[in-house]
Amino acid sequence: MVWDRVIRPMLATTGQVPSGSGWAFEFKWDGVRAVTYRRSGSVQLLSRNDNDVTLSYPELLGIDDLLGEHDAVLDGEVVALDRAGRPNFGQLQHRMHERSPSEELRRDVPVTYYVFDVLVLNGKSVLDEPFEHRRELLEELDLDDITRRVRVPPCYPDVDGQQMLDVARSHGLEGVLAKRLDSRYTPGRRSTSWIKTALVDTQEVVICGWKRGQGRRAGTIGSLLLGAYDSGGALRYIGHVGTGFTDSMLDDLFDRLGSLARNDNPFDTGAVPREYARDAQWVEPVLVGEVEYRTLTSDNRLRHASWRGLRADKSAGDVEAP
């Protein structure tokens, strides 16, 4: 470990765009969170669940040169951009599970690291400094890379958050993130000092079982049975998903789930509808994924869900029920 301690990312609360003064707004980037540790010429990237992903994104090691004389711990998001310059989570899926990506893959799916916070600078923790000051320190580091592999995205203090959301919508972005200018950084905690407003509803899910497909999908996965943990720590059934998969996603999931098979239903609560429980292939609840959904039912189950991909950067125990 490059540093003596791990700083887990601060998390935002989902909510409506806040109004009034004292807020700064950023666009929400559709990627995977990564905290970068740089000391004495050594660089390490850790995911949200503390996995070392340094070798997965070797093009981001250029941040070592950008920091020059500075040692630092930085917070940001790894994204893959489409041809229009918009984050594309589907493209990023091709990189997320590759420990040592080939030159061809790095060329076909390049990634960019959007740095939006500084947590430690030259041996001094700035976690208790207000966000406004941390942002000033970040901009003084001048990290924008000429190759566009590392960027500091814009931040807009005291603007109309609803207008920011409209801009995000018109550019096909995921949404906006509002941060209190006076907020301190609270590692590993979800805080109302940061509020995320998404234009597309997404939900992290734990894969708890699957149903065999029919027709074109005969012999592989037809749908996944999904769970999440409620406030009491119980694993609850929250719905199923049968769309949004590519053939390569189905092949990968089929291989992964085969080794996780179990005989009994892993859910603690929330009865699985009979048509989904019948002939279900139950699995150990360890794989985390993400879905888009249109709305929630009256019993808080996902309606019209579509698969987005696996989330290797998330731990099953951290997946909260909607």
What 3-state DSSP class applies to 95?
A: helix
Chain-centroid distance, C-alpha 80: 12
Nearest residue to 34 via CA among 103, 106, 96: 96
Residue type, 113: Y
Q: Is residue 211 within 8 Å of residue 225, measured between CB atoms?
A: yes
Q: Is residue 35 within 8 Å of residue 73, measured between CB atoms?
A: yes
The C-alpha angle 158, 159, 160, rounded to 5 degrees, equals: 130
28 carries an active-site annotation = yes
Q: Is residue 205 within 8 Å of residue 228, measured between CB atoms?
A: yes
What 3-state DSSP class applies to 253?
A: helix
Q: Among residues 28, 179, 196, 211, which one is catalytic?
A: 28
Active site residues: 28
